[in-house]
């Protein structure tokens, strides 16, 4: 069984590249590249194009779309001052054309590349569940694999709504070292993992409990409270405009 996988899906102007640097790491890289005026392609190694790192959870979300169990998936990666939106979804209800967006880059995939991508991600996911979560990843191997320079990260997943019987899933990958921000809001609803807060403007937002770093009282629904919240969720939901 191979340890390294890479595949580029070329188009006339834009291509998508999937790279798994090792079956022992719990992520892959997804790159979107444009063709230059001289006919050559942008190179990620030279800082060109747009590349994001996708976790095992995010691979699963993309496979849900590819297997037509979800209408689309939208992810937000927030690291330091860099924020990238990733979108994978069907162009229409026929579900024959898939659109992949990374930031300002966009690529459409059709048969047979759709089948190829599905089979490849399914294989990579099986590998990573077996080898990247089994405890066989020795320290010396870890040192050889270049991890993301921004350090630790987390993933917050939301099931937003459903369309044509298919879920629409949104996830946010964020740096756990983000600076917190103080906001004033009322706590309207509490779920096991999140709070529905209301601002003085009347706007409502769901925020994960893991992003709140201050004491709060869910029984005081009519009272505004000061909350210390991770900056990434503030930026993502545009709570402070």
What is the tens place of the pLDDT at every residue in 48-101? 999 988 989 889 989 999 999 888 888 877 665 567 889 999 998 899 999 999
> Lowest mean pLDDT: which of 140-144, 179-183, 194-198, 211-215?
140-144
User: What is the total count of domains within the chain?
Assistant: 2
Residue of 115, 81, 82, 75 lying closest to 98 (CA atoms): 115
What is the residue range of 229's domain? 180-237
Asked which of 92-101, 104-113, 221-230 is least confident by mean pLDDT, the reply is 221-230
Q: Are residues 142 and 215 in the same domain?
A: no
Same domain? 196 vs 137: no
* Cβ-Cβ contacts under 8 Å for 83 (sequence gap 6 or more): 76, 77, 235, 236
Burial, 24: exposed, middle or buried (Cβ in 10 Å; 0-12, 13-18, 19+)?
buried
Domain match, 75 and 127 both: yes
Is residue 238 pLDDT above 70, yes or no?
no
Same domain, 92 and 189: no
State the average pLDDT over residues 175-186. Answer: 74
Q: Domain of 56: which CATH number? A: 2.30.31.40
| 131/206 same-domain check | no
pLDDT for 78 equals: 66
pTM, to two decimals: 0.64
Does 80 lie in the same domain as 154?
yes
More confident residue, 178 or 41: 41
In this structure, what CATH number is given to the domain that contains residue 191? 2.30.30
């Amino acid at each position: 069984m191979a340890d390294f996988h890479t595949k580029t899906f070329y188009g006339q102007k834009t291509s998508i590249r999937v790279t798994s640097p090792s079956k022992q790491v719990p992520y892959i890289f997804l790159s979107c590249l444009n063709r230059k005026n001289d006919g050559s392609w942008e190179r990620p190694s030279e800082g060109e194009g747009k590349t994001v790192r996708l976790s095992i959870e995010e691979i699963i979300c993309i496979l849900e779309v590819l297997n037509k169990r979800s209408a689309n998936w939208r992810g937000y990666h927030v690291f330091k001052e860099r924020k990238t939106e990733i979108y994978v979804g069907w162009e229409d209800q026929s579900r024959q054309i898939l659109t992949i967006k990374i930031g300002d880059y966009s690529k459409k995939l059709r048969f047979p590349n759709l089948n190829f991508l599905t089979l490849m991600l399914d294989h990579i996911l099986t590998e990573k569940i077996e080898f990247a979560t089994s405890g066989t990843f020795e320290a010396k191997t870890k040192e050889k694999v270049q991890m993301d320079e921004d350090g630790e990260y987390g993933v917050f997943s939301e099931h937003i709504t459903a369309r044509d019987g298919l879920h629409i899933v949104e996830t946010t990958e964020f740096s756990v070292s983000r600076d917190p921000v103080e906001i004033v809001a009322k706590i309207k609803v509490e779920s096991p993992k999140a709070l529905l807060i209301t601002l003085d403007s009347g706007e409502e937002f769901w925020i994960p409990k893991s992003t709140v770093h201050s004491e709060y009282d869910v029984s005081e629904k009519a009272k505004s409270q000061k909350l210390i919240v991770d900056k990434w969720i503030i930026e993502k939901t545009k709570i402070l405009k």
